[in-house]
Structure 1
């Protein structure tokens, strides 16, 4: 199967999935009280930009959770990490923890690069173990950027795929995530659906993000197995709205 045909089938299935779940959602409108599937794969879309061959919004982030044996993380647990803190947070409402969400971390990096904010956020890339300062002071310092990251991510439409298999690196969820990223990635290959110049990811520090057109780093340099689309179709057929 050619990559173009694979992409067309993928986006066709994504359209079917969107219809099955009653349309895309935005994290700003979501809560844990919704009937999320226990486990699944999620696809974030870039608002206002479409594929070169159609009016479908492009996928810019793919993820799953609980791929380590014994992990109990749910789909909503992972989405909540990207969402950040709510209005009821006593210290940092509508902020978040980019050290617990790679998606948040990468979006924040790109904002720093785009607007030249390096001096304002010197520890954004650093792990806690390497920061020789009071953690509460660092959190206070990073709060404004965490809010900007929350505002950006919460406006990204997304859809989810229910795949309730056991946590494992060999799980079907991990396979769908890995192969979907490899299929959509432009890294070191011709861009079938190039991102517009204004996409925030173009300012990322990561070459893989800039060149792949995805907020993903893992699997963007791999080849995809076309048979994963059959597994994707089966999972779409089994997914219900929340």
Structure 2
């Protein structure tokens, strides 16, 4: 399954990421690139946070759903695909339609078999499992060893109303893993942190980047700078090899 997070892609690049591009289609397009829909041909594509898709692209997505065809940026050639589409949104799309931010016809084409997940505040029994999962995820990502969550911390997390749902919980746990000392998860400045809607403060982003850079370097040294393969650094870090290489470029990590 091909996954696309519509909030993670810059608005000026989302079209080329989804539908592909030809060399020279725009400044910086120095090579042909297949889009996510081409990569998903014969399978499934998951469009996360579909409500964030720019309005001007929604008609192109509607055409793919209805006719199974599109053109790459910079190309007149029509490409046909057979793709199953799963879409998710943290927004109420009916409200987005009324506000003029989402196409009604696209909504009805996507809303064939809807599954509504109750907000996190209505399923507090899931919070302990989610906390365990996110702690393990960020332990691995930044090389921490948080092993326990106190009853007081878990109780505080379960009593909060989580307007940002699971994504807000994930951001709070990520921040807590970064700032916790020792092996016990500590959610500091509870109300200030939660009112932040899950966004990391600037200094925390820098700390996370420094920790991630150090952790990647340690794992690369441990694997003899082998990136791919069963025992390669990418597997140990839980990343795709291409993602690991991109982060190495981002942090300027090179073998000397």
Q: Pick the TM interval, shorter chain.
A: under 0.3
Please report the TM-score for the alignment, with normalisation by the length of structure 2: 0.22
Higher relative contact order (CA 8 A, sep 6+): 1
State the structure with more CA Rg: 2
Please report the TM-score for the alignment, with normalisation by the length of structure 1: 0.23
The structure with the largest helix share of the pair is 2
